[in-house]
Amino acid sequence: MILRSILSVALLSVVACSSEPKVVVPTDAGGVDARVVDASDGATLPFPLNQTCQAVTLPDGTEDKACAECSQSKCCDSLKAVTAFADAATLAKCIHDATTDDEEAACFTKYPAPTQALLDHGACKSYRCTGICTDPPTACAACTNEKCLVESLACDRSKDCYLFSSCSGACKNQACIDACGTKYPAGRDIATPFTTCSLTRCASECK
C-alpha cells in the first residue's frame, strides 16, 4: 500500500493508502479469506505495474533526478495520464497540505477528475520505484508487496481505501478503527482482504 507522501509531494511524486501497511482489523473482517495470487506465482502483473516504457536519463541538476527518471522510465503511461489533467498538481498539493482524512476527502471532492490517474501513478511508483521515490520498504511492506500484491494494489488504486487507511492509521484503539469503517465502508471492504492477507501470509513480518 502506498506511502501518503507519494500522492502528495508534487506532480511527479504523487499519491494514496500506504507502503507500510497499517495492520488493523475491522470487527467484521473475520470471515474473509486471503487471496492466493501473489507476485511470486508468475502471473502477469496487473495495471499499472505492467507499463512498458523507454529508459529515460535526465540532465544532472534535475530536481529529484533519480525519482523522476524512475517515474518516466517505469510509469510512463500513468504519468502521461496524470499530466493530461490541469488540476492534478493542485489535487496533489491539496492532499499534501491536508491534516485529516476529512480534509483529504474534501480535496478529492473538489478536484475529482485527476483522482484515478494520480492513484494509478502513485501505485506504479510505489512498487516500481520503491526505495527511489519512497523510503526503502520495511520487512512487512516488502512481504505484502510480494505476497499480497493483488489486495494491496486494489487498495492503492481506490480513493475510498485511501481515506479509510488515512482515518484508521490515526487510530489508537479498535473502536476508532470501527468508526472509520462505518465512515468509509467501501474503503474498509477493499482494505479487509489486504489486512487478512498480511496477517496470514506475512504474519511474522507484520506482527
Give 29 or 151, the one with higher predicted confidence.
Answer: 151
In one-letter notation, the amino acid at residue 179 is: A
pLDDT confidence tier of residue 35, bands split at 50, 70 and 90: very low
Residue 13 pairs in a beta bridge with: 10
Spatial contact of 187 and 161, defined as CB atoms under 8 Å apart? yes
Which pLDDT value is given to residue 109?
97
Angle at 139 between CA 136 and CA 143, to 5 degrees: 105
Which pLDDT value is given to residue 46?
87
- pLDDT tens digits for range 56-98: 999 998 888 999 999 999 999 999 999 999 999 999 999 999 9
Which pLDDT value is given to residue 191?
95
Q: What is the mean pLDDT of residues 41-58?
A: 82
In one-letter notation, the amino acid at residue 26 is: P
Question: pLDDT over 70 for what percent of the chain?
Answer: 79
Q: Mean pLDDT, the chain, as a whole number?
A: 82
Q: How far lies 83's CA from each of 8, 23, 64, 80, 114, in Å? A: 15, 33, 18, 5, 9
DSSP string of 36-47? S--GGGTPPPPT
pLDDT confidence tier of residue 137, bands split at 50, 70 and 90: confident
Which pLDDT value is given to residue 9?
39
